[in-house]
Structure 1
Amino acid sequence: MSHEPRPAGRIQEVFVAFLLLGLTSFGGPIAHLGYFRTEFVERRRWLSEQAYSQLVALCQFLPGPASSQVGFAIGLMRAGPWGAAAGWLAFTLPSAIVLVLFALGAAALDGPIGQGIIHGLKVTAVAIVAHAVWGMARSLCPDPQRAGIALAAVFTVVLLSGPLSQMAAIAIGALAGMALCRTHTESDMQALPLPVSARAGHLAGLAFVTLLIGLPLLAWTTPSATVAVMDAFYRAGALVFGGGHVVLPLLEAEVVQNGWVSTDEFLTGYGAAQAVPGPMFTFAAYLGALMGPLGGGIFGAILALMMIFLPGMLLLVAVLPHWNQFRRWDRAHALMRGASAAVVGILGAALYHPAWTGAILGPHEFVLALTGFLLLSVWKLPAWAVVVILAGGGILITI
């Protein structure tokens, strides 16, 4: 593990790369993982396929926004703590700013052209996820055992559904890997360069637990609206498993049932959040900009946004120092092979639902999605260019 200072140029490099993704990464958390793989594994080669699959498997296990946690870890590996902060900020800001402007009265996309763009972006998610499944399956499921684990993960996610299905799929895959993949002796488990000390990990874990227990107690004993909002959004971010969309019922229970925003405002913001790139958790910025207790506006948006992301990042930092030690366990290689194959299965299930079922409504959408897939896999176009092309295609098939 290296603790040498990272050059400022790397931090800027991370910020620019994630800002571009924050402006173009449509389709939800699973699609984001596809964008990340295309950009950082295939194009920039910042980390290997195996290292990326390890990060995805780890972040799927933890509560919080999995795609943002993966991005945070990539920034950390590339440029240290400031790189992690730069990556998170750049990936989060575009959608947060758009949703805050929408909350404050900015016009939403309307009319046939706007609807066509949204439709094209949904089709883009199909192409991105299909490309990720295809590429990861070739690398991570090269034999019948791991292909079978991936298929079992598809069945688990599709048949169980619910927020715990992805965790169950990875757990089953890990156990199956320990039983079925121990005969594979290839050394494909490279150490991850994680510049996080054990002390920093312990402090992050302590902060996570202290805030999770302390904020509700403080909110109960004091009449502070600021503390109440901090508690509500921190708990929502700390207790959600399975991706950004799962946080919606938790937020509804906090902000609607408490009377901070109306049901109509909540549902309108949820609809707008589907049409912007970046993490679904930025929906919190929209709610914070509207909420009555703090008077709404920019302060409420920033507070809500910071508190909903904070627990997932603290928990990730708490776990990372122990990751490479865990991997030295004699059965860790087999376990991670199985978990990585399960990640491929989870992506495959997401390719069907919600990506395919939500976007492919007829032959025109199918042709558009296939075009995007070929642009990514054969012509090697960057993801942002495919977003632009398929958004234009969405306009053509809508008007």
Structure 2
Amino acid sequence: VAHAVWGMARSLCPDRRRAGIALAAVFTVVLVNGPLGQVTAIVIGALAGMMLCRSHAEADVHELALPVSARAGYLAGGVFVILLLGLPLLAWASPSATLAVMDAFYRAGALVFGGGHVVLPLLEAEVVQSGWVSADEFLTGYGAAQAVPGPLFTFSSYLGAVMTPLGGSLFGAALALVMIFLPGMLLLVAVLPHWNRFRRWDSAQALMRGANAAVVGVLGAALYQPVWTSAILGPREFALALTGFLLLGVWKLPAWAVVAILAGGGILISL
């Protein structure tokens, strides 16, 4: 997570204004707990970006290889909103483990912004704070997810397989995986018909700059809680984590190798 924060900060917060937006996002997440704080931080960052991060440089706009009709885009956007608002109501009106899992993972996939690592605090709020998965199980799965190729969202299949509401079944793994990817796919189809026009708007570009800077702050807050507070228990763990950071950032080892090396280091510490 520290490596992700460092890399994203270098590319998304290259000036003082965006660094300030990231810092404001950290304070927002600290003051407003849970997913609400993360969404609020990104919204505030987007609004700040529209005021502070304007640039009139022409954006590179390319014709889409796979055009989507406007009707299909509106339909996908409508389904996205209906599920985002309707699943919580269904889960409340008709208590069901299946509906609760669908709601939790769809909401996490819908609210994440700026990179896969940002889903970490959202998922932690949904599955750890609810008691579905223990903090140790959560971090173990996150570590394992770093050792395999592919998007971090695949971490959801592990959570679906081990969490208690659905009895640790393969059905739970498949359901969690589908629900966390579904909102992104719907948004993709919804935005594609308007993407080139969106890219040409100075206000849209400024909004994205501010929102991306806020994402760095959100992930920075996640680096402390839940990662640091539950993993760095003393100087030995700190030394191990710093070693992993340098292996990734300076020596450029692949993530799977760093995971394997630090897993061995964790065993040595426990002995």
Q: State TM-score, norm by structure 1.
A: 0.51
1:145–1:208 Cα change, 3 Å: closer
For 1:163 and 1:289, the matched residues in 2 are separated by 21
1:194–1:358 Cα change, 3 Å: farther
Q: Deviations over 1:280-320 (max 9, x none)?
A: 533333458955xxxx865x446634663364345333444
Instruction: Name the residue aligned to 1:384.
Output: 256
1:233–1:369 Cα change, 3 Å: closer
Among residues 151, 157, 161, which one is paired with 1:285 in the alignment?
161
For 2:182 and 2:210, the matched residues in 1 are separated by 28
Among residues 304, 315, 333, which one is paired with 2:175 in the alignment?
304
Q: Deviations over 1:147-187 (max 9, x none)?
A: 111111111112222211111111111111111122x4455
Among residues 76, 86, 105, which one is paired with 1:237 in the alignment?
105
CA contact (8 A) 2:127 2:133 kept: no
For 1:137 and 1:313, the matched residues in 2 are separated by 23
How does 1:1-399 map onto structure 2 within 5 Å? 129-182=1-54, 184-186=55-57, 190=60, 195=66, 197-198=68-69, 199-208=71-80, 231-240=99-108, 241=111, 243-248=122-127, 266=132, 272-276=137-141, 277-278=144-145, 279=153, 281-282=156-157, 283-286=159-162, 291=167, 298=170, 300-301=171-172, 304-305=175-176, 308-309=179-180, 311-321=182-192, 322-399=194-271
Q: Highest CA radius of gyration, 1 or 2?
A: 1
1:302–1:377 Cα change, 3 Å: closer
Q: How big is the alpha-carbon RMSD for the aligned residues of Structure 1 and Structure 2?
A: 3.6
For 1:172 and 1:297, the matched residues in 2 are separated by 39
CA drift of 1:342 comes to 1.1
Instruction: Name the residue aligned to 1:71.
Output: none
Identity over the aligned pairs, expressed in percent? Answer: 53
Instruction: Name the residue aligned to 1:10.
Output: none
CA drift of 1:394 comes to 0.9
For 1:339 and 1:202, the matched residues in 2 are separated by 24
For 2:248 and 2:208, the matched residues in 1 are separated by 28
Q: State TM-score, norm by structure 2.
A: 0.72
For 2:226 and 2:156, the matched residues in 1 are separated by 18
CA contact (8 A) 2:133 2:163 kept: no
Query: Gaps (5+ residues) in structure 2?
Result: 112-120, 146-152
| Aligned-partner SS, 2:202 | coil
Q: Deviations over 1:163-217 (max 9, x none)?
A: 11111111111111111122x4455x55587846245434434544676759x88
CA drift of 1:383 comes to 0.9
1:194–1:302 Cα change, 3 Å: farther
For 2:128 and 2:24, the matched residues in 1 are separated by 28
Query: Gaps (5+ residues) in structure 1?
Result: 1-128, 222-227, 253-262
1:302–1:375 Cα change, 3 Å: closer
For 1:302 and 1:373, the matched residues in 2 are separated by 30
CA drift of 1:249 comes to 7.8
For 1:159 and 1:289, the matched residues in 2 are separated by 30
| Aligned-partner SS, 1:338 | helix
Q: Which amino acid is 2:48 matched to?
A: A
Counting matched residue pairs gives 242
For 1:130 and 1:395, the matched residues in 2 are separated by 22
Instruction: Name the residue aligned to 1:121.
Output: none
For 2:126 and 2:235, the matched residues in 1 are separated by 33
Instruction: Name the residue aligned to 1:6.
Output: none
For 1:391 and 1:196, the matched residues in 2 are separated by 45
